[in-house]
Amino acid sequence: MTTATLPPDLDAELSALLGAEGWRTDAATRQAHGSDDSRRHAMPAGVALPRDRDQVAAIVRACRRHRVPLVARGAGTGTAAAAVPFGGGIVVSFARMNRILQLRPDDRCAVVEPGVVNGDLQQALQPLGLFWPPDPSSFETCTIGGNLACNAGGPRAVKYGATRDNVLGLVAVTGRGELVRCGGPRTKDATGYDLTHLIVGSEGTLALIVEATLRLQPLYRDAASATAA
Ligand SMILES: Cc1cc2nc3c(=O)[nH]c(=O)nc-3n(C[C@H](O)[C@H](O)[C@H](O)COP(=O)(O)OP(=O)(O)OC[C@H]3O[C@@H](n4cnc5c(N)ncnc54)[C@H](O)[C@@H]3O)c2cc1C
């Protein structure tokens, strides 16, 4: 289904929900949110920039009611066109949900919103002697939500695994606009189906991630390298 224009009722509902800063239908904003690093482009009919999880859930419920497709977007550094709205409809950008909610050094975990940039989290963790292992080379711009949705990984994946191995729990919005919480900060939060690891890597097709609890590691105190010839 391609939705180049929006039902007027949906336009009015999202405008009332998100305000002028959070609901954009001008051509420049739509153009800028129509592509990622794949260099492919499709024009969305509108761009939603929610501030919190309740707004995300309300957007999903409204789009579902009007049968308008939506595509999640982090920083748009993906190279596979997964954030490109080929069906038209709405792009949901997590750029304004970029708060680090908790740093818990004693529990070696952090709770973040999906729009936090990977590099910003690493900077916040450094004074605590901690880091989050996923290190895609786009770390200065890509978001934690995008890392989770793509199961991103960099060189450190050899030792620590990719993103899936470094997440303890999620809060996500389903296609029905319902909030689900899975996993949690304790390793023993192991009851029930493992939805956390199912959602990680699903590229926004199963749910929209609105909060993540991340497993942290201690920074190396001493590092040395040797070359043998
Ligand atoms: C220069 C460069 C270097 C790169 N290096 C690496 C690398 O070393 N390793 C690697 O794995 N990748 C790499 N990438 C690819 C890309 O940066 C990663 O996949 C990154 O995780 C994407 O994050 P993003 O915030 O840009 O997500 P986007 O590109 O905006 O979105 C990617 C996918 O995630 C979904 N998504 C985004 N946020 C959410 C959310 N909150 N809930 C649900 N779904 C969501 C989108 O719908 C889309 O399917 C690189 C890209 C570039 C341009």
**Which ipTM was obtained for this model?**
0.99
Q: What's the confidence (pLDDT) of residue 3? A: 64
Q: What's the confidence (pLDDT) of residue 23? A: 98
Q: What's the confidence (pLDDT) of residue 85? A: 98
Q: What's the confidence (pLDDT) of residue 45? A: 97
Q: Is residue 153 in contact with ligand 1, taking CB distance under 6 Å?
A: yes
- Helices 53-66 and 8-22 sit at what angle, rounded to 10 degrees? 160
Which 8-state DSSP code applies to residue 219? Answer: P
Whole-angstrom distance, CA of residue 23 vs CA of residue 190 = 38
Report all structural domains of the chain as residue ranges with CATH numbers, in order of start: 8-93 (3.30.43.10), 100-218 (3.30.465.10)
Q: Is residue 182 in contact with ligand 1, taking CB distance under 6 Å?
A: no
Q: What's the confidence (pLDDT) of residue 2? A: 60
Q: What's the confidence (pLDDT) of residue 227? A: 84
Q: What is the mean pLDDT of each run of 10 residues along the chain (229 residues)?
A: 81 98 97 97 98 98 97 98 97 98 97 98 98 98 98 97 97 98 85 93 97 95 78
Q: Which segments of the chain does DSSP mark as H helices, in order?
A: 8-22, 27-32, 53-66, 118-125, 144-150, 157-160, 195-199
Buried b (16+ CB within 10 A) or exposed e, 129-151: ebbbbbbbebbeebbbbbbbbbb
Q: Is residue 204 in contact with ligand 1, taking CB distance under 6 Å?
A: yes
Which 8-state DSSP code applies to residue 84? Answer: S
Ligand 1 center to 150 CA (angstroms): 6
Q: Which residues have C-beta within 8 Å of that of residue 39, sequence separation ≥ 6?
A: none
Q: What's the confidence (pLDDT) of residue 5? A: 86
Which pairing describes strands 46-48 and 70-73: parallel, antiparallel, or unpaired? unpaired
Tokens of residue 139, six digits: 């770390």
